[in-house]
């Protein structure tokens, strides 16, 4: 499954790495886990796009998913729990952000070759239609800068949010 994920992100031309997760960081379900992390240049770090786990029979015991096989010595069946594998191929929002960060230029976005056929006109380049804001600090960095002084950002009251959604 991790090979399929690697092929997918290779086809997009994204820089990535596969990381084996240490046993102390695993949840109760996983006995072994690999993450595929892709490079996000604007954020300057690798972030997880794929998580691939071997859960053995942790989930199937609760779901009562079994298989039967004949024993070698007699004709009786021995029922055992199946083992489950879990993997995400594409966390859509994160993958899209990664593509945009890796293919962005000053004038627009270079479209990866494998995605061109899904865009009308099959463009190699999508130009920006508006001027980029001069302040290009990420929202995450802005939020950290605002909350460092101890004051949390002011949020609208619950009633105000409900009123806005009705309009």
In a domain, 155, yes or no: no
151 within some domain:
no
Structural domains of the chain, count: 1
Residue at 35 is within a domain? yes
Q: Tell me the pLDDT band of 75, cut-offs 50, 70 and 90.
A: low
What is the structure's pLDDT at 68? 80
- The answer as to whether 7 is a domain residue is yes
Q: How far apart are CA 92 and CA 49, in angstroms?
A: 9
Cα(80)–Cα(64) distance, rounded to whole angstroms? 10
Closest by CA to 49, choosing from 99, 91, 6, is 91
- 51: its two tokens: 């998580």
Residue 44 domain-assigned (yes or no): yes
Q: What angle do CA 18, 41, 53 make, to 5 degrees?
A: 25
**Which tops the pLDDT comparison, 10 or 161?**
10
Domain of residue 45: give its range: 2-103
Under the banding of pLDDT at 50, 70 and 90, the label for residue 69 is confident
Six token digits for residue 141: 């960095």
Predicted TM-score of the model (pTM):
0.68
Residue that is written with structure tokens 């105000």 in the block: 160
Examine residue 156 and state whether it is found in any structural domain, yes or no: no
């Amino acid at each position: 499954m991790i090979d399929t994920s690697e092929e997918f992100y290779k086809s997009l031309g994204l820089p990535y790495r596969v990381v084996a997760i240490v046993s102390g960081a695993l949840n109760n379900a996983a006995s072994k886990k690999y993450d595929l992390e892709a490079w996000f240049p604007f954020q300057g770090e690798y972030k997880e796009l794929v998580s691939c786990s071997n859960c053995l029979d942790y989930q199937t015991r609760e779901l009562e998913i079994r298989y039967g096989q004949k024993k070698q010595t007699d004709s009786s069946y021995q029922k055992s729990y199946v083992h489950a594998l879990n993997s995400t191929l594409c966390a859509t929002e994160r993958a899209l952000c990664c593509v945009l960060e890796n293919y962005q230029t000053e004038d627009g976005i270079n479209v990866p070759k494998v995605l061109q056929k899904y865009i009308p006109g099959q463009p190699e380049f999508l130009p920006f239609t508006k001027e980029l804001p001069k302040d290009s600090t990420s929202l995450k960095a802005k939020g950290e800068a605002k909350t460092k002084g101890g004051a949390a950002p002011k949020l609208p009251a619950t009633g105000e949010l409900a009123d806005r959604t009705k309009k």
